[in-house]
Amino acid sequence: MHIPDGYLGPYTCVLFYIVMIPFWYRGIKWLKNLHPRQVPLLGVLTAFSFLVMMYNLPVPDGTTAHIVGGTIIAILIGPWAATVSISIVLLIQALFFGDGGITTYAANAFNMAVVLPFVGYYTYRLLRKKLSDVAAAGIGAYVALVTAAIVAGFEFGLQPYIQPGYCPYTFWVSVPAMAFAHLVTAGPAAAVVTATVLWYVKKSQPELFSMGEAEALRG
Amino acid sequence: MSKLIDKTVEEVASFIREAVFSERYAGREGFLQSVDPRAKLIALLISISVVVGARHIAVILFLYFLPLVMAALSGIPLRYFIKRVWVFVPIFTGIIALPVIFNVITPGRPIIVLWNSPYIAVTAEGLHAAAIFTLRVAAAVSYAILLTITTKWSDVMKALSDFRVPGIVITITTLTYRYIFLLLSILLDSMYSRRSRLCRKLGMVESWKEAGKNMGALFIKTQMMGEDLYYAMLSRGYLHSARSLNEFEFRKSDALFLTSAILLMAVVFIGDRWFI
């Protein structure tokens, strides 16, 4: 889902940098309120979210897919932690590994560090009243990944209407293509993996599981 | 053997290789290595913006060749540089751009007619659109890779903090980068130990669950490490902010580099918009 440089035109890139300002501002404010003890913890957890993207999951079409891990971090620590962590991961990937782009950095951050964790987190909170924690987390991860993919599809699909020379396909091609791929391949993988992670953490270290709850109470 | 384990190990190994290679060239003597990282960062942002905004294929082609010259001047083997740029993203981009060359997506003057009924042909307009798209991505990726290949990680971080990126973000990013390597070795160990206990192939859903358990275990380890790390930092005099030991010196040559980069990009941008 990482959009490379050159896929989105200049207007879209600038627009997303403007859109991301309040989110990053809020994220940094959240960071400044952290207890100093939690700062190194967030550093290693950000490394963790970087690594989560390195697991190659086999999917039905014969290739492999990655998950973003935004929902896992949002549930275990809090959605703002996910916004900060994934923004940092995307920065490292864009600057050092040519994964994602520099002009498209804000758009990528919007999809994966804002849409994904928040949709995942609130879907989880909503479903938890009716389902078990583990099932709610799995469905949350699924809905989050598919939503983020559709949002990315919209960003691609906008390009031909603004100016030619960027992503060449309109909504009618890009949104179904992105949605379908994530609905049937990466989505189910993300759901099973996220649910298993939560199940495992809850089973072996239940006190870690309640961290996200405390975070939600503090607001 | 299980795809999950093999592919993940492969990915981790290639990641480490790239990281090690990048640092190797950053430590060499060369043109870009000697430029102040702040000047390089500004030049990079301007250049990539011009690449993304450029409209003509000749201009984009010129912008693509510029980083090749810079790479050569900086002692980076061109084969390695080109491979790194094209392997990463643009091959994938090329596949995406492929359908655009046909009349179905881009109607226009046919160059090669493939079928008569239904009528499918490669059009001149389509080829042009696909070439612009692919080349632009390749050029943008070239600039980004050029910066990281010629600059040490710590210097990029220092440059970012000089540009007023909040200290806490820099601290977390630096910790993240360091811990990626440590966690990678833990990840590799757990993958190998799991593999050595496997006596059959894992099914697809089975391997997703396996990945989930592995990530869960990694999360718990990470959590413990975070706490230990705090005490380790505290015992070494951590005062809630990290400082860089080396200060950059902005020399005349850096000013010259930055001015020429800005001027060149301004000329290219104006030429692309109004004169071609």
User: How far apart are the C-alpha atoms of B39 and B30, rounded to whole Å?
Assistant: 16
Give the number of A-B residue pairs with CB atoms closer than 8 Å.
Answer: 252
Can you tell me the distance from the alpha carbon of B13 to that of A171, in angstroms, rounded to the nearest whole number? 37
Structure token pair of residue B271: 């030429």
CA distance B46 to B272: 15
Q: Which among A48, A57, A94 is the nearest to B222, CB-wise?
A: A48
Residue B235 has pLDDT above 60, yes or no: yes
* Residues B57-108: tens digit of each pLDDT: 999 999 999 999 999 999 889 998 888 888 765 566 766 777 777 777 777 7
Domain spans of chain B, in order of start: 28-151+250-276, 154-245
The minimum CA-CA distance between B249 and chain A, rounded to whole Å, is: 23
H or E segment and range at residue A186:
none
Asked whether the beta carbons of residue A45 and residue B226 sit closer than 8 angstroms, the reply is: yes
pLDDT of residue A214: 56
What pLDDT was estimated at residue A217?
45
**Average pLDDT across chain B, whole number:** 82
Contacting residues of A for B208, CB less than 8 Å apart: 57, 188-189, 192-193, 196
DSSP H stretches of helix in A53-115: 70-76, 79-97, 105-109
Asked whether the predicted pLDDT for residue B249 surpasses 90, the reply is: no
- C-alpha distance from B11 to closest chain A C-alpha (Å): 7
Q: What is the pLDDT of residue B125?
A: 82
What does the domain layout of chain A look like in residue ranges? 10-218
pLDDT of residue B137: 85
Share of chain B above pLDDT 70, in %: 91
B34 vs A61, more confident:
B34
pTM here is 0.85
Nearest CA in chain B to A37: B230
Q: Domain A10-218 adopts which CATH fold? A: Arp2/3 complex 21 kDa subunit ARPC3 (1.10.1760)
For residues B219-224, average pLDDT: 83
Residues with pLDDT less than 70, chain A? 59-64, 98, 209-219
Q: Is B122 on the interface with A (CB under 8 A)?
A: no
CA A139, CA A159: separation in Å to the nearest integer?
A: 31
The minimum CA-CA distance between A95 and chain B, rounded to whole Å, is: 6
Q: How far is it, in rounded angstroms, from Cα A47 to Cα A198?
A: 18
The predicted structure's pLDDT at residue A212: 56
> What pLDDT is recorded for position A95?
80
More confident call, B37 vs B3: B37
Q: What confidence tens digit (pLDDT) does each residue in B149-183 have? A: 888 888 888 888 888 888 888 888 888 888 888 88
| CB-closest option in A45, A60, A103 to B140 | A103
Q: Could you tell me the pLDDT band of residue B240, with boundaries at 50, 70 and 90?
A: low
Kindly give, in sequence order, each residue whose CB lies less than 8 Å from that of residue B234, ignoring residues fewer than 6 positions away.
none
Cβ–Cβ gap B211/A46 under 8 Å: no
All residues of chain A having their beta carbon less than 8 Å from the beta carbon of residue B180 are: 47, 50-51, 92
Question: What pLDDT, on a 0 to 100 scale, did the predictor assign at position A61?
Answer: 62
Residue with tokens 């389509």: B126
